[in-house]
Structure 1
Amino acid sequence: MQLTIESLIALSLCFFVIAVLYSSVGFGGGSSYLALLTLFFASFFVIRSVALVCNLVVVSGSTYLYYKKGHFDAKKFIPFVATSIPLAFLGASFRLKEYVFFIILGLALMTSALLLGTQSIREKNQKTRLTAKKYPIWVTYFLGAAIGFLSGLVGIGGGIFLAPILNHMRWDFSIKIAALASFFILVNSVSGIAGLVSNQMFVFPWKEGLILLAVVFIGGQIGIRLSLNKLSGRGIKLLTAILVFVVGLRVLLNNGLQVIDF
């Protein structure tokens, strides 16, 4: 399915804004890419493929800059991805019925929006800087596995789930969690793409896809640089959470349950 010029321009502008907003708080934007793509493409193979590749492009730049700035802690990050990589591959390998995929996607988007909104409200009410807590190593492996599987299943990197959970747990300081989320999204996106390719479910519309990749790359670079220059992300997180929730509800009701069209 090819897009009209008008549709491609509109989608590109939306992807650019999403890349700027999400990269500024350490995410790739996969959840919102998925939601928007459902409005333009009928095939959820295309939807999953494009969202994962765009995720990969955005967080590759973010991960590099976090590493360059000294926020990358391999010792603490690797346990998360040790279990998430194989589970993301497994999740991406499932051949879901289309309506099941959209139900899971809608619920995932709404859940991620609630987590992100809760995190932003928590930051507003937080009066003092919190001290990082230590958790048993099995908690790290479990979170990585669970979120990795969900990430592969619906075609997102999973950082939008992981970061709010870790902030709520006071796992580490916000900048370190953002760096982990970016790295987590990176490896899960690669694993998810590999899962799609190995099961012949990777369908990428090259003409539209390359334009979208260029757009999110530029947007992602702008967003991460704004973030590292101390731009507050609380308001951005709250606005993004509202938008993702609304779109997730639409995907659930219209594409998944098919009970309403709005």
Structure 2
Amino acid sequence: MLINIESLLLLCAGFFVIAVLYSAVGMGGGSSYLALLTLFVASFFAIRSIALVCNLIVVSGSTILYFKHGHARLKDFVPFIITSIPMAFLGASFRLKEEVFFIVLGASLIISSLFLVWQTSGAKWSEPTKEYPRYLSYVIGASIGFLSGLVGIGGGIFLAPILNHINWDKSVKIAALASFFILVNSISGIGGLLYSDTFELPWMETLILGVTVLVGGQLGIRLSLKKLSAKSIKRITAVLVFVVGVRVLLVNGLGLI
């Protein structure tokens, strides 16, 4: 096994909690999986691969649920998806040096945490939705898709705060788009890793973690966080992701500590 049993149990506990919390707000938890994996797994190829697979497992259930209840319409999502898929593939196919990867990952985690804080403090849910030029959807999809593939996340943690801030649509529809966006980008990212021969998956650990996030994700979807608001979850997550992002940047990336 790639990691010892004690570390694997700690990862399972962390992944389970992350899957429950993120799935309830339409996300997969990729950024937090990455954050935890950097504490226990040395190979950055394995880190990206495991995070993408677990991401894919969680958002598959969320996406099905959103479409089933009529919150998602494919034609509204196409402008974002059509550019994000190839760019996520391109980003994932880059063979980054290990220190460069950790610098990009650390910076991305820090930015992710700031986006989460921004979403909970600056969003004005009562404002009406606004119309925007279609090209903006292509630009947003391509930009976030590339970054997602590069570091091994689905991108919903970047997409949702931006769309909420500009009042693109109702929050439930944005959550549905974020879930679907994560799904297709995770698939595309895995394809990019396979293409560049950097898809490194320790099967035993991935199987155990995959089952863990599957159970956690389904539980989170069904609970819908009746006892803890989505805003509280995002703020707690923001603190965790920020702290680990700083650690990854300073220790793994820059080697300053």
1:166 aligns with 2:146: no
* Stretches (4+) displaced over 3 A: 228-231
Number of equivalent positions: 257
Report the counterpart of residue 216 of structure 1 in structure 2. 213
Q: Note the alpha carbon deviations across 1:105-142, whole angstroms, 9 max, x for none.
A: 0000000100111111225xx4x622111100000000
CA contact (8 A) 1:12 1:215 kept: yes
Q: Note the alpha carbon deviations across 1:173-207, whole angstroms, 9 max, x for none.
A: 11100000000000000000000011111010001
Unaligned runs of 5+ in 2: none
Residues in 2 aligned to 1:118 and 1:38: alpha-carbon distance in whole angstroms: 25
Report the counterpart of residue 203 of structure 2 in structure 1. 206
Alignment of structure 1 residues 6-155 onto 2, 5 Å: 6-123=6-123, 126=124, 129-155=126-152
Shift of 1:225: 2.2
Report the counterpart of residue 244 of structure 2 in structure 1. 247
Q: Note the alpha carbon deviations across 1:70-116, whole angstroms, 9 max, x for none.
A: 10121111110100000000000000000000000000000010011
Residues in 1 aligned to 2:253 and 2:22: alpha-carbon distance in whole angstroms: 25
CA contact (8 A) 1:26 1:181 kept: yes
Shift of 1:228: 8.1
Q: What is the one-letter code of the residue matched to 2:198?
A: M
Instruction: Report percent identity of matched pairs.
Output: 67
Residues in 2 aligned to 1:152 and 1:132: alpha-carbon distance in whole angstroms: 29
Residues in 2 aligned to 1:110 and 1:24: alpha-carbon distance in whole angstroms: 22
CA contact (8 A) 1:25 1:237 kept: no
Distance 1:33 1:239, change over 3 A: same
Unaligned runs of 5+ in 1: none
Residues in 1 aligned to 2:150 and 2:159: alpha-carbon distance in whole angstroms: 15
Residues in 2 aligned to 1:113 and 1:254: alpha-carbon distance in whole angstroms: 18
1:193 aligns with 2:181: no
TM-score, normalised to structure 1, is 0.95
Shift of 1:6: 1.0
Residues in 2 aligned to 1:180 and 1:118: alpha-carbon distance in whole angstroms: 19
Residues in 2 aligned to 1:224 and 1:115: alpha-carbon distance in whole angstroms: 23
